[in-house]
Amino acid sequence: MAQAIPDVSEDMKTVRQKTRPDKQGTSHVQQVSRGKRDDNIIYIGKKPTMSYVLAVMTQMQNNVTEIHVKARGRSISRAVDVVEVVRNRFLQDIKRDITIGTETINSKDRGSLNVSTIDIRMMR
Same domain assignment for residues 77 and 100: yes
| Domain range for 47 | 41-123
DSSP bridge partners of 102: 116
Instruction: Label residue 56 exposed, middle or buried (CB < 10 Å: 0-12, 13-18, 19+).
Output: buried
pLDDT in tens, 56-108: 999 999 989 999 999 999 999 999 999 999 999 999 999 999 999 999 999 88
pLDDT of residue 3: 44
Question: What is the total count of domains within the chain?
Answer: 2
Give the CATH number, domain containing residue 86. 3.30.110.20
Same-domain status, 80 and 106: yes
Q: Do 110 and 54 fall within a single domain?
A: yes
**Same-domain pairing of 26 and 76:** no
The whole-number average pLDDT for the span 16-27 is: 50
**What pTM did the predictor assign?**
0.68
Name the residue with higher pLDDT: 42 or 27. Answer: 42
pLDDT score of 5 more than 90 = no
Rounded mean pLDDT of the chain?
A: 80
